[in-house]
Structure 1
Amino acid sequence: MADNQISGKIPTELGNLVNLIYLSIENNYLTEVIPESFAKFQNMQELYLGKNKLSGTIPAAFLGNLSHLSEFDLSNNLLIGEIPSTIENCKKLQIVDFSMNNLSGAIPTQLLGISYLSILLNLSHNSFSGNLPPEVGMLKNIGTLDISENHLSGGIPENIGDCSSLEYLYLEGNSLDGIIPSSIASLKGLLQLDLSRYNLFGSIPQELQNNSVLEWFSASFNKLEGEVPMHGVFQNANRVSLTGNDRLCGGVAKLNLQRCPPKSLKKRKHHVGRKLIIIIIIFSIAFILLLSLVLTIIIYQIMRKRQRKASTDSTIEQFPKVSYQELHHATNGFSVQNLIGTGGIGFVYKGRLNSEERVVAVKVLNLQKKGAHKSFLAECNAFRNIRHRNLVKIITCCSSVDHKGDDFKAIVYEYMKNGSLEEWLHQNAEQQRTLKFEKRLETVNGIAYALHYLHYECEKPIVHCDLKPSNVLLDDDMVAHVSDFGLARLVSTIDGKSNIQTSSMGIKGTIGYTPPEYGMDSQLSTEGDMYSFGTLLMEMFTGRRPTDAMFKDGHNLHNYVKIAFPNNILEIVDATLFSEENDHLAVTTDVASDLRPNVERCLSSLFKIGLSCSVESPRERTNIKAVIAELNIISKALAD
């Protein structure tokens, strides 16, 4: 019964089918708890309950009776609590997927002691805490182990090397610390290893370069130091991610790491360094005692005057330098002919940089506008350490003075030939180009992957704050790129709650796309981005802006879609989605027969995503992980 639109709770009477050996009701809209009657499934071998909205805990009696179960999927639900220890009775389990729930507590050793576990153990994206038990070494036959995005602490057990069949090991996004155990190098079949966003220190085991099959290694955003290996997977910079480890050195040239000091000089440098430190300390103390009062006054005055400039310089120091004169020349003196866009706090010009020999877009900020300086810093900061296929690439930032001696600030972007999504969705009468259904679906996927990267794959989550069609640009191949990070904020996560690290000012974002809680001075959050995403998605497939004149007296785009969902969605679909050029017939049930049978179902699933992301309560909004999982299902269904 998988992949339907079945809703409500699972009937307890289903448990009367005591001879079932296979049951799949995944990817539906089922809610409430797992029935206790499922404990009667003593012959069950494969049970798939994933991708629903099941809540509550996992019944202990239910698990204890499934002694013949080999494949078990509870992923993508709303389950809470701990994994019952009775899972040890499921001695024949080969595949276990409990990912993307709210499960907590320690990882039970009873689960790790199941000798049949040989294909997959996925506990990722939950709230498991405590240490990674040393019993993990008992999984000698496991192929894929994914415990990423939890709250585990402590070190990685040395006996992880006992998992001799391991091919895929994902431990990223936890609070583990310590060193990378050398025993990992003994996993000769290991294909992918992700240890990013930890508190790991020490060096990368040199033995890892001897693994001839390892095809991906990530240890980004740790505290690693020392020399990076040169052979094996480390020969290819595209298959290694080491960003955020400032004390690493060496490696292949394309990793762009600092050179390691010659080994023969290390002891000498250490000895000389100690003497130098002592001398510096003595002279510093004498100098401070002599001039402390004068220096205090001077430094205070200088810092007051230069604080603003210092923050700007530190923000843009890692970007290639570009002068005002270069940008002035590249845009023909910021001429009207080169003007390609205007925004709330600046103007965008098309230009050609001689130094780069490429066409670029130059956003010049109007520093007379309130918040322009903070917007400049926010956008440059947001792009300091992020790179993604679906994010507009910043080439450089410029903080200088113009020919009048006034402050000048500009951001230079990759030029997007096909303009913004806004221009494609809402064209004037003279324009003849249209964006068909498949391309809109590709665009939604691209935006979703960009948000997933910002919310979950950066060192600290980034909230975009202003997601809308005009901030989605399309390149030569019509690939979507999210742009304009002038309102972006870094977020730290403490005890599962988001906390903004930089202060916000005024209303955040654009009316229609901004979640209602922002108007009540609520904290910025990734849930706010999800509201904007849901609104944007519904706009893409209805052709209606959230600020359309038809939405008044409490009516809005969310309600407009909700009223038509799910039986009358063809009445609200954008007429240009499936019509030929100059054919303005609406897509109604009269022409639905001309569509592929699965297209209407895909549209229904898309509108369901839009509605679930744009609900009023932030806590009830679907997160981007679940959205991507749904979009993958939709794309696959469309291709079939």
Structure 2
Amino acid sequence: MLHLCQELTQLVLYNNSLNGSITEGIRSLPKLKKFYIGNNKIAGTIPLSLGNISSLVQLYLGDGHIHGNIPSDLGRLSKLIEFNIEVNYLTGAIPQEIFNISSLQYICLDFNDLSRNLSETARLRFPNLMLLQLQNNQLGGNIAAYLSNSSRLTRLNLEDNLFTGPILTNFGNLQLLQEINVGNNQLTRDPGSPKLHFLTSLTNCRSLENLVVENNQFNGILPNAIGNRTSPLLLFAAPNCQIMGHIPRGIGYFEKLNTLFLANNGLTGTIPSTIGKLQSLQRLHLDGNKIEGIIPNELCLLKKLGKLSFQNNGLSEPIPPCIANISCLQKVLLGSNALNSPIPVNF
């Protein structure tokens, strides 16, 4: 019956209980611009004929039971702005032809079983790309260098994959970037230096709010230039990353930070007094490191702090009594240290 709907421009069927598969007859809709059939029980494969609808602007096939490969024929959709096939059972590589669609603004291929490396062809450009979600796949290789040319990119999520190599320092050129999540990969530091220079480069991202790099293999040192006075960063999560060295005093520049996770690394030295400048901090996790010395009194300036975890370190000397004056505190975890004072009276 689709051949009787030659003038159809929108076919929106999402959020139902539709089953079956997408018919090859979809090619009979030459003027279709929007095809939303996600959040159903659609199975089968993506029909090759979908690539013949040159008018298509928005394609949403997410949250179904679609399997097989992403057809390279979809690379012919030169007007495509939104490409969403998340939460399915897709396998194989992401075709290079997809990365040749310069009009794309939103790419969501997360929660599939896609594998192999991203294309690393240097000439590829995504001048309009704003959102790239590839998390929870089996993608590997280096993070593609051409992503750093996407000047409109605001959100990048590559979490739970098999990416290797360093994080690109060129990401610091992306002035609109608000979120980076590359956690749970096999990323390393740049072999040319023990410092994690990508963190320094990201201080140029004046819109960056969430930075998640947890569970990687950096085996490096936090740089001194880790922040700046205009940083809007709210979340910095880097537990289980083999980070060594001292916590830099520059950590105090993140005055808007509400969550700091640096647990289960190899951090040494003392807790810098500049931690007291983090007036918005709500959760502070430094457990599972090799931090020594005292708990600084400046910690008591963090009036919004709700959870504090310093356990499994080498902290000594008294617990500052003023910690009991932080009215928002709900959890204080200081076990397995060398603390030697009475418990503060008002705890």
Query: How high is the TM-score relative to the length of structure 1?
Result: 0.38
Match of 2:204 in 1: 114
Would the alpha carbon gap of residues 161 and 216 (structure 1) be closer, same or farther in structure 2, given more than 3 Å must change? same
Match of 2:286 in 1: 195
Q: Does 1:27 align with 2:111?
A: yes
Q: Could you tell me how far apart the structure 2 residues matched to 1:211 and 1:92 are?
A: 29
Q: Does 1:134 align with 2:224?
A: yes
Match of 2:301 in 1: 210
Q: Could you tell me how far apart the structure 2 residues matched to 1:120 and 1:236 are?
A: 23
Match of 2:342 in 1: 250
Assess if the C-alpha contact under 8 Å between 2:255 and 2:278 holds in 1.
Answer: yes
Deviations 1:531-559 (A, max 9, x none): xxxxxxxxxxxxxxxxxxxxxxxxxxxxx
> Secondary structure at the residue paired with 1:142?
coil
- Once the two structures are TM-superposed, the CA of residue 206 in structure 1 deviates from its matched residue by 1.5
Match of 1:229 in 2: 320
- Which residue of the other structure, out of 54, 57, 81, is the alignment partner of 2:142? 57
Query: How high is the TM-score relative to the length of structure 2?
Result: 0.69
Q: Could you tell me how far apart the structure 2 residues matched to 1:191 and 1:96 are?
A: 21
Match of 1:95 in 2: 179
Q: Specify which structure has the higher proportion of helix.
A: 1
- Once the two structures are TM-superposed, the CA of residue 211 in structure 1 deviates from its matched residue by 2.1
Aligned pairs for 1:483-502 within 5 A = none
- Structure 2: where are the runs of 5+ without partners? 1-84, 190-194
Assess if the C-alpha contact under 8 Å between 1:87 and 1:110 holds in 2.
Answer: no
> Secondary structure at the residue paired with 1:217?
strand
Match of 2:94 in 1: 10
Deviations 1:315-348 (A, max 9, x none): xxxxxxxxxxxxxxxxxxxxxxxxxxxxxxxxxx
- Once the two structures are TM-superposed, the CA of residue 237 in structure 1 deviates from its matched residue by 8.1
Match of 2:235 in 1: 144
Q: Could you tell me how far apart the structure 1 residues matched to 2:343 and 2:277 are?
A: 21
> Secondary structure at the residue paired with 1:184?
helix
- Once the two structures are TM-superposed, the CA of residue 84 in structure 1 deviates from its matched residue by 2.3
Assess if the C-alpha contact under 8 Å between 2:126 and 2:147 holds in 1.
Answer: no
What amino acid is the match of 2:118? I
Assess if the C-alpha contact under 8 Å between 1:98 and 1:124 holds in 2.
Answer: yes
> Secondary structure at the residue paired with 1:137?
coil
- Once the two structures are TM-superposed, the CA of residue 169 in structure 1 deviates from its matched residue by 0.6
> Secondary structure at the residue paired with 2:98?
helix
Deviations 1:104-152 (A, max 9, x none): 0152245322232432001111011221011212272100011111111
Match of 1:159 in 2: 250
Match of 2:214 in 1: 124
- Once the two structures are TM-superposed, the CA of residue 233 in structure 1 deviates from its matched residue by 6.8
- Once the two structures are TM-superposed, the CA of residue 253 in structure 1 deviates from its matched residue by 6.5
Assess if the C-alpha contact under 8 Å between 1:26 and 1:49 holds in 2.
Answer: yes
Assess if the C-alpha contact under 8 Å between 2:306 and 2:328 holds in 1.
Answer: no
Deviations 1:402-430 (A, max 9, x none): xxxxxxxxxxxxxxxxxxxxxxxxxxxxx
Q: Could you tell me how far apart the structure 2 residues matched to 1:8 and 1:221 are?
A: 43
> Secondary structure at the residue paired with 2:172?
helix
Q: Could you tell me how far apart the structure 2 residues matched to 1:8 and 1:118 are?
A: 32
Q: Does 1:42 align with 2:127?
A: yes
Aligned pairs for 1:577-588 within 5 A = none
- Once the two structures are TM-superposed, the CA of residue 32 in structure 1 deviates from its matched residue by 0.4
Q: Does 1:185 align with 2:269?
A: no
Match of 2:47 in 1: none
- Structure 1: where are the runs of 5+ without partners? 256-640
Q: Could you tell me how far apart the structure 2 residues matched to 1:224 and 1:89 are?
A: 39
Q: Could you tell me how far apart the structure 1 residues matched to 2:303 and 2:165 are?
A: 41
Match of 1:538 in 2: none
Would the alpha carbon gap of residues 170 and 248 (structure 1) be closer, same or farther in structure 2, given more than 3 Å must change? farther
Assess if the C-alpha contact under 8 Å between 2:274 and 2:298 holds in 1.
Answer: no
Assess if the C-alpha contact under 8 Å between 2:200 and 2:223 holds in 1.
Answer: no
Assess if the C-alpha contact under 8 Å between 1:131 and 1:154 holds in 2.
Answer: yes
CA RMSD, Structure 1 to Structure 2 (Å)? 2.1
> Secondary structure at the residue paired with 1:56?
strand
Assess if the C-alpha contact under 8 Å between 2:303 and 2:326 holds in 1.
Answer: no
Match of 2:167 in 1: 83
Would the alpha carbon gap of residues 244 and 253 (structure 1) be closer, same or farther in structure 2, given more than 3 Å must change? farther
> Secondary structure at the residue paired with 2:292?
strand
- Once the two structures are TM-superposed, the CA of residue 36 in structure 1 deviates from its matched residue by 2.9
> Secondary structure at the residue paired with 2:226?
helix
Point out which structure has higher relative CO (alpha carbons under 8 A, 6+ apart).
Answer: 2
Assess if the C-alpha contact under 8 Å between 2:319 and 2:339 holds in 1.
Answer: no
Would the alpha carbon gap of residues 233 and 26 (structure 1) be closer, same or farther in structure 2, given more than 3 Å must change? farther
Assess if the C-alpha contact under 8 Å between 1:229 and 1:251 holds in 2.
Answer: no
> Secondary structure at the residue paired with 2:167?
coil
Assess if the C-alpha contact under 8 Å between 2:93 and 2:114 holds in 1.
Answer: yes
Assess if the C-alpha contact under 8 Å between 1:227 and 1:250 holds in 2.
Answer: yes
How many percent identity over aligned positions?
29
> Secondary structure at the residue paired with 1:19?
coil
Assess if the C-alpha contact under 8 Å between 2:258 and 2:283 holds in 1.
Answer: yes
- Once the two structures are TM-superposed, the CA of residue 254 in structure 1 deviates from its matched residue by 9.7
What amino acid is the match of 2:179? I
Assess if the C-alpha contact under 8 Å between 1:112 and 1:135 holds in 2.
Answer: no
Moved >4 Å (runs of 4+): 232-238
Q: Could you tell me how far apart the structure 2 residues matched to 1:234 and 1:222 are?
A: 22
Larger Rg: 1
Q: Could you tell me how far apart the structure 2 residues matched to 1:204 and 1:47 are?
A: 41
Assess if the C-alpha contact under 8 Å between 2:303 and 2:327 holds in 1.
Answer: no
Q: Could you tell me how far apart the structure 2 residues matched to 1:118 and 1:187 are?
A: 17
Aligned pairs for 1:329-408 within 5 A = none
Aligned residue pairs: how many?
Answer: 254
Assess if the C-alpha contact under 8 Å between 1:48 and 1:74 holds in 2.
Answer: yes
Assess if the C-alpha contact under 8 Å between 1:170 and 1:194 holds in 2.
Answer: yes
Match of 2:45 in 1: none
What amino acid is the match of 1:56? G
